[in-house]
Structure 1
Amino acid sequence: MRLLSGLNGPRGPRRPSGPLGLLALAVCAALLVPVSAAGAGQRARAADPTAYDRIVPAPAHTAPGGPGYRLDARTVIRTTAGSAAARGVGELLARALRPATGLALRVSGTDAGGSAADGIRLRLDARAADQGEEGYRLRADGTGVVITAYRPAGLFRGAQTLRQLVPVTGRPVVAGGTVADAPRFPYRGAMIDIARHFFTVEQVKRYLDRLALYKVNVLHLHLTDDQGWRLAVDSWPRLAEHGGGTEVGGGPGGYWTKAQYRDLVRYAGERYVEVVPEIDMPGHVNAALASYAELNCDGVAPARYTGTKVGFSSLCVAKERTYEFVADVLREVAELTPGRYLHIGGDEAYATPHADYATFMGRAQQAVVAQGKTVLAWHQLAGAGPVSGTALQYWGLDRTPAAEKAKVAGAVRAGAKVVLSPADRAYLDMKYDAATRPGLSWAGYVPVRRAYEWDPGAYLAGVEEAAVLGVEAALWTETVATTADADLMAFPRALGIAELGWSPASALSWDAYRLRLAAQGPRLTALGVGYYRAPEVPWA
C-alpha cells in the first residue's frame, strides 16, 4: 500500500467488443427513429447538444440531436411494473434531481398509462441481455426520456448519466440525443481508510454518493490498521472497544457497530455498489496486538499507536490462537457482508519472515474460502501462493522493479485476477504538487493529468486485459482527517480513475477529458464538494 516510514517531506486504444459492439450498431439506429409529436407542450427548444460531450465517464456511444425535453410539474418518473428494484432507482433519481430542478418529481410503479410526454421512463427489458449487468440505453427527445436496461444496476448507471444531462442551474432541459453504454471493466472501486483517521458511516455515505454519480461500483473499506480497529467483533470485543480508541495524532478514534456497518452495506447496495471490507494482516495489526496480549508471541500487549510508520507489527504466526482469531473475525465480517470479496491485506509485513508470511497467508486464505468468499489481497501475496481465483490489488509504481511485477504476472498465469491501484497514479493521498496540504509524496506528486493518463488494460507487462478486473482509487488517511481533506484529495482525481474503469479505451483522451472534467465543476460545487481546482483544467 505505502512505502511510508513517516511524514517526512512534503505532502491502446480498444473499443469494447461483444455486447456493446452489437448495441452501438443495432440499437442506436433504432433510437434515432423520429418519435411521435405528442406532447408538444412539453417540448423545449433544441437543448445544447454539447451536453453529451460533458458526461463523465465518457459513454461508449452518444448521438446528440433533436429537441430536448423540459421537466416540469407534470413530469412523472415511471418504472417497470412489479419491479421494486426499478422503483427504488426511480425514487433515488427523483431525490437527486430535486435540488437542480426544484421539482417534487412523482414516481409511479408502472411505465404504462399517462400521456406519451409526461416524463421519464425506467424500463427493465428481458430481451436486452446483450447489454450485460450494467449496460443501458438512454433516449431523450421532445416526448420525454427513456432509459432501458437488462438489470436494475444498468438502470441505476443510466440514471447517473441522466443526472449529468440535467443542468445544475437554469431551465431543467435534457438535451435531445441517445446514449448506448456499458462498462469496460466490471470492478471500478474506491477505497477509504477509516483506520488512520476515523470517519463516521454518514461521512462515508456522503463520499459514496458522490462517487456513485460517476459509476463507481465498489467501496473498499480499510477497517483495521496499527492506529485503530474500526468494526465491532462480538467474539473479540476489545478489538473495537480498546483498539478503536485512538487514531493518528492521538485523537479519540471510534468504531462502527455491526448495525452501523449493515446500514452502510444496505445504503451502498441501493446504489449498486458492492462493499469490500479489509482486515489487514499479518502486519498493520498493532491495534489488535494492543487489545489482546495473547496475539503477541511474547504474551505482552504493546501500547496503542498513533504515529504513521509501517512494517513494525505482526501477528504471532506460530500460535494456533492466532488462526482462531483470524477465523472468528473473518466469519463475523463475512456474515455482515453480502458481497463476493474479503480483503485480507498482506502488504508491508516487514516484521514477518517470508516463510512465516507464506504460512500465515495460506491459512488466512483458507479462512476466507471457508466463508464462501473470494480472496482479495495486496499484490505481495503473489509471492506466497495465492489460491485459485484470488484477486490481487497492485499498488506498485511505474518504477517498481520488473521482478516484482513479474511475480504478479506469474500469479495471473496461475489463475489470479488483478485490480490496479498504482500508487503514483491512483493513490488519492499523494500531493498534487509541492504546495498541496494535506498529503504525502513518497510515490511522487500526482497531478490530475498523471492520475488519468494510463491504460489499465496494458499497464502491467505480462498481464492481459482479460485478467484485469478493473481499477481502484485509494484514499489513505494518515494526513486526511476531515471531510474537507477527503474532498480536496479525492476530487477530481477519483473521477478520472472512474473513467478509466468505465469508458472504452478509444474514448480516453486527456484533451477531451479535461474539458468534460471542467464542466463537472459546477456540479461538484452544487454537491458541496470542495474539490481541487487543478491548473491544467479550464474549470467552468
Structure 2
Amino acid sequence: MRRTHSTTPRTTRVLGSLLLVAAAGVFTLGAAPAAPAARTAAPTPLDQVIPAPASVTHGGTPYRLTRATGVRVDDSAEVRRIGAYLAGILRPSTGYPLALTDHGTGGIRLHLAPGDFGAEGYRLHSDAGGVTITASAPAGLFHGVQTLRQLLPPAVEKKTAQPGPWQIAGGTVQDRPRYSYRGAMLDVSRHFLTVDQVKRYIDQLALYKLNELHLHLSDDQGWRIAIDSWPRLAAYGGSTEVGGGPGGYYTKAQYQEIVRYAASRYLEVVPEIDMPGHTNAALASYAELNCDGTAPPLYTGTKVGFSSLCVPKQVTYDFADDVIRELAALTPGRYLHIGGDEAHSTSHADYVAFMDRVQPIVAKYGKTVIGWHQLTGAHPVPGALAQYWGLDSTSAAEKDQVAKAARNGTGLILSPADRIYLDMKYTKDTRLGLDWAGLVEVRRSYDWNPGDYLPGAPASAVRGVEAPMWSETLKESADIEYMAFPRLPGAAELGWSPAATHDWDTYKVRLAAQAPRWDALGITYYRSPQVPWPTN
C-alpha cells in the first residue's frame, strides 16, 4: 500500500494579512491620492472558491472592510471563539482593530439559527451593509469563515500590514457538504512529525473544509503514541524511523494537544494502530508478541508485509485491549482505525480470527471500527467502515469483495491510491514520493467521482473520501506541502461539492487562483503544467 525515497523544499505557514491605506470604507474621490483606487481589483466572484459551493446567487454591491468594521457574534462561547479566530486572521494584514462584539449592525456577523444547513452547512450573504454567515451549528460557521477568507484578496493571509482594499463580492452562497467524511491522513510512523508540524497541516486542511485527520500512529518503522501499560512501545519502538533517524513519539499530553487543536478547526482525529501486520516496532519492543518469543531488531527500511502479531497467543489480545482502551480514552472522536492492510505474513484464517476478536474490543471502548479494505475479507462488524485504497486496475475479485460488503451495510471511505494518495509522484522526475501506484498528476487526482467509482457498491454506502500522505520520503513540512499542494484542494472538493459542479476546465482556473494565497501562507507547492498559474 506504500513504498520508498528522498527530500525537498522548505516552508512556513501563516494566518495573517494587510492594511488599507484609506481610513473610510465608503469610496470617495479627493480624500486620498488616486493611486489606490486605480489599482483596485474586482472582488473575487462568490463561486470562485474551493471547494465549489452548492449554490451561488450573484448580485448586489460588494462589502468593503474598513477600520470601523467589527465582527459581530452571538452570545455564545463557541461562536465568539470562531469570531476571534477570524479576527486573528484579518487583523495583521488589514491593520484594522476588528473588535469582537455581540451588538450593533453591519460589519461581519456570525449567527446561529435554525435552517436547512445540516451539521456543517452555512449561508453567506454579502452586500454594502455587511457580511452575514448563518449556520445551525458552529462547524457551519467555521466553514463559512473559510469561504470568506478565500473571497478576500490572498494578501489577507500575511502577517504584516498590506495595502488592500478588502472587498467581498455581493450575493449569497448556500452551501453544505456532499459527504460527511472528508479526510486526510498523515503517516507519522515512517518519519516522525512534531506537534507543530501536525498543527500546521491541520490549518491547511481546515482552509478547504476537511473534517477528519487520520493519524497513522504505528508501523514497522516506529510506534508514535505513549501507552502506559506497554511503555516500551514508545520508548523503544518509537526510537527510530526510515533511514535510521531519531524517531520520536507523542506523550499523552501532546496527543491531546493535537486533538484539541484539530477540534478548534472542526477536524476530528482518527487514530490508527495498524494490526496484525505493519507491527515490527511493537514486536521489537515486546518479545512475547512474537510466536517464537524472540524480538526482532528495530526496522528502518521501507519493505512491507513481513511482520505479524502472533494471532494464537492470548497476550496479543491483552495487548490490543490495552492499546485500544488507552487510545480511546484520549480520543473524543467517533472512530478508531485498526489497519488490517498488507498482512502478508498472516494466514487468511488467522487474519479473520484476529479481526473477529479485535473489532469487538473497539466497540467495547465506545468507538466505531475503521479498517483498510482488506477488512472486508473477514467479517466487518455492523457499522464498520472500510477504507478502499486499491487502484483502477485492482482485480475485479477484490473490488467485488469490497462492493459486496458495501451492499451488506459496510460504509466506504474512498482513497484509491492511483487517484488520491498524496505521496505518489506527479511525474517520473518528482524528487519526492513513490510511484508504485503510478504517476498521479493534478487532473488525475481530481477527475473521478466517488459516487460511482467502485463497481457494484451502492452510492449510499460511500461515506466520503480521504487523501492519505505516506511519509517514507517525507521529512519536513515543506516535503508534505509539495506533495499535498495542489492535489489536496481537489480531494477536498470531491468530498464537499455537489457532483454537478465537478468540471476540470473550470476547476483548474479556480485552483490556479489559489497560488497567491499559498505564497502568502508560505506553502510550498508543485507548479503543475496542467494548471494555468498566474504569471505575476
**TM (normalized to structure 1)?**
0.90
1:151 to 132, 137, 162: 137
Deviation (angstroms), 1:53: 3.5
Q: Distance in 2 between matches of 1:104 and 1:317?
A: 61
* Secondary structure, counterpart of 1:59 in structure 2: coil
- 1:69 is aligned to 2:63: yes
Q: Distance in 2 between matches of 1:173 and 1:531?
A: 27
2:364 to 358, 370, 373: 370
Q: Which residue of 1 aligns with 2:195?
A: 201
Q: Which residue of 2 aligns with 1:440?
A: 434
What whole-Å deviation, never above 9, does each CA across 1:467-503 have from its counterpart, x for those lacking one? 1010001100001111111010011101000000000
Amino acid at match of 1:93: L
What whole-Å deviation, never above 9, does each CA across 1:102-148 have from its counterpart, x for those lacking one? 3332222x2x33xx33x1000000x21x2100110001111111000
Q: Distance in 2 between matches of 1:312 and 1:142?
A: 64
Q: Which residue of 1 aligns with 2:25?
A: 42
241-250 or 69-78: which moved more? 69-78
* Secondary structure, counterpart of 1:140 in structure 2: strand
- In structure 1, stretches of 5+ residues that fail to align are 9-40
Q: Distance in 1 between matches of 2:461 and 2:322?
A: 32
Q: Distance in 2 between matches of 1:500 and 1:59?
A: 12
- 1:90 is aligned to 2:90: no
Q: Which residue of 2 aligns with 1:120?
A: 108
What whole-Å deviation, never above 9, does each CA across 1:435-492 have from its counterpart, x for those lacking one? 1011110000000000000000110111122110100011000011111110100111
Q: Which residue of 2 aligns with 1:139?
A: 125
Q: Distance in 1 between matches of 2:187 and 2:477?
A: 13
Amino acid at match of 2:144: G
Deviation (angstroms), 1:66: 2.0
Amino acid at match of 2:108: I
Q: Which residue of 2 aligns with 1:359?
A: 353
Q: Distance in 2 between matches of 1:217 and 1:92?
A: 17
Amino acid at match of 1:42: G
* Secondary structure, counterpart of 2:154 in structure 1: coil
* Secondary structure, counterpart of 1:331 in structure 2: helix
- 1:299 is aligned to 2:285: no
Q: Which residue of 1 aligns with 2:452?
A: 458
1:239 to 233, 236, 239: 233
Query: In the alignment, is the contact (CA less than 8 A) between 2:240 and 2:247 conserved in 1?
Result: yes
Amino acid at match of 2:189: A
Amino acid at match of 2:276: P
Query: In the alignment, is the contact (CA less than 8 A) between 2:206 and 2:267 conserved in 1?
Result: yes
Amino acid at match of 1:147: I
Amino acid at match of 2:441: P
Q: Distance in 1 between matches of 2:253 and 2:91?
A: 30
Q: Distance in 1 between matches of 2:376 and 2:513?
A: 41
Amino acid at match of 2:99: R
Deviation (angstroms), 1:47: 7.0
- 1:343 is aligned to 2:342: no
Q: Distance in 2 between matches of 1:50 and 1:272?
A: 25
Q: Which residue of 1 aligns with 2:218?
A: 224
Greater than 3 Å deviation, 4+ residue runs: 41-47
Q: Distance in 2 between matches of 1:325 and 1:135?
A: 41
Q: Distance in 2 between matches of 1:184 and 1:442?
A: 30
What whole-Å deviation, never above 9, does each CA across 1:62-97 have from its counterpart, x for those lacking one? 12222211212211111112x111111111111122
Q: Which residue of 2 aligns with 1:11?
A: none
Q: Which residue of 2 aligns with 1:19?
A: none
- In structure 2, stretches of 5+ residues that fail to align are 7-23, 28-36, 156-163
Pairing of 1:155-304 with structure 2 (within 5 A)? 155-169=141-155, 170-304=164-298
Deviation (angstroms), 1:43: 4.2
* Secondary structure, counterpart of 1:387 in structure 2: coil
41-50 or 273-282: which moved more? 41-50
Q: Distance in 1 between matches of 2:259 and 2:111?
A: 26
* Secondary structure, counterpart of 2:213 in structure 1: strand
Q: Distance in 2 between matches of 1:159 and 1:426?
A: 26
Q: Distance in 2 between matches of 1:153 and 1:431?
A: 34
Q: Distance in 2 between matches of 1:99 and 1:486?
A: 27
Deviation (angstroms), 1:300: 0.6
Amino-acid identity (%):
63
Query: In the alignment, is the contact (CA less than 8 A) between 1:47 and 1:176 conserved in 2?
Result: no
Q: Which residue of 2 aligns with 1:328?
A: 322
* Secondary structure, counterpart of 1:98 in structure 2: helix
Query: In the alignment, is the contact (CA less than 8 A) between 2:54 and 2:176 conserved in 1?
Result: yes
Q: Distance in 2 between matches of 1:375 and 1:407?
A: 18
Query: In the alignment, is the contact (CA less than 8 A) between 2:47 and 2:53 conserved in 1?
Result: no
* Secondary structure, counterpart of 1:51 in structure 2: coil
Q: Distance in 1 between matches of 2:458 and 2:92?
A: 44
Distance 1:329 1:143, change over 3 A: same
Q: Distance in 2 between matches of 1:75 and 1:329?
A: 50
1:482 to 472, 476, 491: 476
What whole-Å deviation, never above 9, does each CA across 1:206-247 have from its counterpart, x for those lacking one? 011011000010000000000000000000000000000000
RMSD of aligned Cα (Å): 1.5
* Secondary structure, counterpart of 1:377 in structure 2: strand
Query: In the alignment, is the contact (CA less than 8 A) between 2:43 and 2:152 conserved in 1?
Result: no
